[in-house]
Structure 1
Amino acid sequence: MSHSLHPNNSFKDLFDSPEGLADRIAENLGCPVTIEDANHRIVSYSKHETNVDDARTATIMRRKVPEHVVNGLWKQGIMSHLFESSEPIVIDKISEIGLGNRVAIAVRKNKEILGFIWAQTNDIPIDAHHLQQMKDASQLVSHHLLRQQAKKRKTEENQKEFFWQLLTGTLRHKTEINRHAKRFDLSLEGQLCVAVFEFTEEMSQSVERHAYYLTETLHQTRVVTRLFDDKQLILLVRTNNKVDAAEVSQTFIRDFTQKMKERLDFEDMRAAFGLIYDSPDAISSSYKQALKVLELKEEYPKPLADVDSYQDLGVYQFINELSALQKQENYRNDTIEKIRNYDAKNKSMLLETLRVFLQQNSNVHKAAAHMHIHTNTLNYRLKRIKEIGNVDFKDANQKTTLYLDLLIEENERESL
């Protein structure tokens, strides 16, 4: 391989093979070249090179750019520049991610990103002719990626229909589900759950593009398939280890949300995922649960602000049903009524004390600290609560009933 760029060469001939395409661009530029798709998977790379850097070596070995390299490029503002500009950019060495000197350009069709070309230039001086070579190369690569994309889009449309059938429970038999999954080359083995990201504003093409991009480039979990529905991005995610599945799903949601905020300054979004199952015929259940989490997060924003998982809803899974049943049966808790009447007559705070005490898992010190009172004061109030309401704080059933009834009352007041 030559060690100087050849700015006078042009790309007049087309190639059926993307491998030959990368080699030809590298020959013209005189340096190693990698062609990636829009999600940093390798489409083609030039062969028989020496003095390649760690980032390039790792990318070729994995057939995809390592996540720490992608993250480093975003932090340096390089990916933002590539997404926004059709011009090539010169990138100085970034040692912390193993990246040597580069020239890079986004391959696009109008405003849509199709992929990227990266040339490792080492210490070769770059001038306007070399940058024009990259622009010429991007036009050539665009034709190849457009053909790939047309095939991919047709497959994705069929996958979306299959995914909707799973989400709605139209496909219920595992044998039939696996037959369709094999047809679309989708792996449904392992632990599966549905994650939903809900955007509170209209999904612009930019937001949709970045959201799709992130589902492909975050490595800690496997996105089996995805679709956009109005203001929601719905994902089917898969992990191999049942023990780590919930933790991985929460990490994925946290990282996805954080990167959307960082890269698009996008604050208005909620996230949720359903229970994790080891059979694809339960995907519709996981989807309904994820939607339930989003519904409850909107209804009870304060107590559920940090809850993403259906499993972590706790009693909130059933709170609306319990509330509706209580209204239907004209239910009331006599213990709570007695304490409320006492408070009204004596201008005391026993009911609030009971609520905080139960909320703090019957921990006297935490409850006293939360209310900014002395533990002796709290113990006195608890003694009065026992006497007035005939409360036995050793009775788990009674405490649970009181806690739920107080929680329902509180939520109904806040919703007024």
Structure 2
Amino acid sequence: MKPSPNWTYSYKDFIDSPEGLADSIAEILGCPVTIEDANHFIVSYSKHEQNVDHARTATIMRRKVPEHVINGLWKHGFMAKLFESEEPVIVHKIDDIGLGDRLAISVRKDNEILGFIWAQTNESPITSEHLEEIKEAAQWVSHYLLRQQAKKKKTDESSKEFFWQLLTGSLQNPTEIKRMAKKYQMNLNGQLCVAVFEFTEDMSQAVERHAYYLTETLHQTRVVNRIFDDRQLILLVRTDNKEDANEMNQAFIREFTQKMKERLHFEDLKGAFGLIYDSPSFISDSYKQALKALKLKEQYSEGLKHVDNYQDLGVYQFIHELAALQKKENYKNDALNHIKTYDERHNSMLLETLKVFLEHNSNVHQAAAHMHIHTNTLNYRLKRIKEIGNIDFKDVNQKTMLYLDLLIYENEQEDL
């Protein structure tokens, strides 16, 4: 790397041309340069192509930094440094992601990150002049990115109104939806669903920026649009393959929550997505389902701990409706009432035992292990439950109704 004397005029000459700007920086630093936006999409890369490494080649081919490279930079602490400081960062090679030595800097406007400059140094010594040159380059790149960001923000604000229309179901006309989607360059083809993440505290601008960053850098799904609403992040997600859509969305939910936990220490972040549809007319239904799934996960945290998909809620999908119907008809389950009365009189745990037994699909060994009791103890309790409630554990219909009624009873107790 050999810096040139003073090339400020080159930055000015190319301020409206991202390609020329990258070439100018590369010529100053004497090495290949890549300019990225805040979400690691390529803005420009120099034509200096000698001895480039695999990470740079893959980035240029995809027009975006590969996810495994981003993850590697986070794991080794380099991305955290770029987020925390406006000073240049010397990045040592990481062989397992195909990344050679780099000199990097975040491009900023005040505290907001607009993008990044990466210079592949190829193990050449980095001098104080290089550090000053790349800092000056970052200032000029910020001018260009601010212009682009202003244009994008104007479009994004307008598209959010359209997104709210889809979420609330106030826009149903297919022709109008298609026209608006084209206007705002929103791809509504393929499999669509709404995912909602719920935070336990108000989101700061820093958290919003990082959440936005993650939705753009995780590759499992394509985020068509997003809205921050109080403590919720609402996403419209699209996939092309119907068969893989559920699996990909689940992976996205889990990886997003995991990375927010790792990077920003959000321990109680919850996410869920609604049913997947092949028409934008059903986006409002998917949104309602995602909200319902989050509410049920909060109420039945133990039973729904690992459920991210409305489809996988099973009987929980209709538990509130069933409870309302039972209340309307003054329904009661005599078997459960007898067992509850027995527990109250004898300070026993038969009702809890019954629930654990049913939750473990009537498997005595698994239920006993869960309760940390011997199988003989469990079998004795089950015998008493059968006698007191007049229950036939071979009757699937009776067992199903018992389980549903236990869930409803548990929820009613929590509301008292």
**TM-score over 0.5 for the pair:** yes
1:8-407 correspondence to structure 2 within 5 Å: 8-12=5-9, 13-15=12-14, 16-343=16-343, 349-407=349-407
- In the alignment, the residues of structure 1 paired with residue 158 and residue 218 of structure 2 have an alpha-carbon distance, to the nearest angstrom, of 24
% identical equivalent positions: 73
Question: Aligned-pair distance for 1:167?
Answer: 0.3
* TM-score where L is the length of structure 2: 0.93
- In the alignment, the residues of structure 1 paired with residue 101 and residue 403 of structure 2 have an alpha-carbon distance, to the nearest angstrom, of 62
Question: Aligned-pair distance for 1:319?
Answer: 1.9
User: Would you say the 8 A contact 2:31–2:48 is kept in 1?
Assistant: no
- In the alignment, the residues of structure 1 paired with residue 307 and residue 399 of structure 2 have an alpha-carbon distance, to the nearest angstrom, of 24
SS at match of 2:113: strand
Question: Aligned-pair distance for 1:83?
Answer: 1.2
Question: Aligned-pair distance for 1:218?
Answer: 0.5
Question: Aligned-pair distance for 1:149?
Answer: 0.6
User: Would you say the 8 A contact 2:58–2:65 is kept in 1?
Assistant: yes
User: Would you say the 8 A contact 1:10–1:136 is kept in 2?
Assistant: no
User: Would you say the 8 A contact 1:8–1:129 is kept in 2?
Assistant: no
User: Would you say the 8 A contact 2:88–2:103 is kept in 1?
Assistant: yes
Rate the CA distance shift 1:135–1:349 in 2: closer, same or farther, 3 A: closer
Judge which range, 190-199 or 364-373, deviates more.
364-373
Question: Aligned-pair distance for 1:102?
Answer: 1.2
User: Would you say the 8 A contact 1:360–1:367 is kept in 2?
Assistant: yes
User: Would you say the 8 A contact 1:166–1:283 is kept in 2?
Assistant: yes
Judge which range, 235-244 or 9-18, deviates more.
9-18
CA deviations on 1:152-180 (whole Å, 9 max, x unpaired) are 11111121111111100011132322221
Number of aligned residues: 413
Which residue pairs with 2:3 in the alignment? 6
CA deviations on 1:297-356 (whole Å, 9 max, x unpaired) are 233333333322212222222222222332333221122223444555666654444333
- In the alignment, the residues of structure 1 paired with residue 371 and residue 263 of structure 2 have an alpha-carbon distance, to the nearest angstrom, of 41
Question: Aligned-pair distance for 1:374?
Answer: 4.6
SS at match of 2:282: helix
SS at match of 1:242: coil
- In the alignment, the residues of structure 2 paired with residue 147 and residue 194 of structure 1 have an alpha-carbon distance, to the nearest angstrom, of 31
User: Would you say the 8 A contact 1:7–1:129 is kept in 2?
Assistant: no
CA deviations on 1:230-286 (whole Å, 9 max, x unpaired) are 111111111122222111111101111111111122224221111111111111001
Structure 2 unaligned spans of 5+: none
- In the alignment, the residues of structure 2 paired with residue 258 and residue 338 of structure 1 have an alpha-carbon distance, to the nearest angstrom, of 44
- In the alignment, the residues of structure 1 paired with residue 267 and residue 381 of structure 2 have an alpha-carbon distance, to the nearest angstrom, of 43
Could you tell me which amino acid in structure 2 is paired with residue 187 of structure 1?
N
Question: Aligned-pair distance for 1:48?
Answer: 4.4
Question: Aligned-pair distance for 1:33?
Answer: 0.8
CA deviations on 1:70-93 (whole Å, 9 max, x unpaired) are 111111111111111111122222
Rate the CA distance shift 1:62–1:344 in 2: closer, same or farther, 3 A: closer
SS at match of 1:335: helix
Question: Aligned-pair distance for 1:63?
Answer: 0.7
Structure 1 unaligned spans of 5+: none
User: Would you say the 8 A contact 1:393–1:399 is kept in 2?
Assistant: yes
Rate the CA distance shift 1:291–1:387 in 2: closer, same or farther, 3 A: same
* TM-score where L is the length of structure 1: 0.93
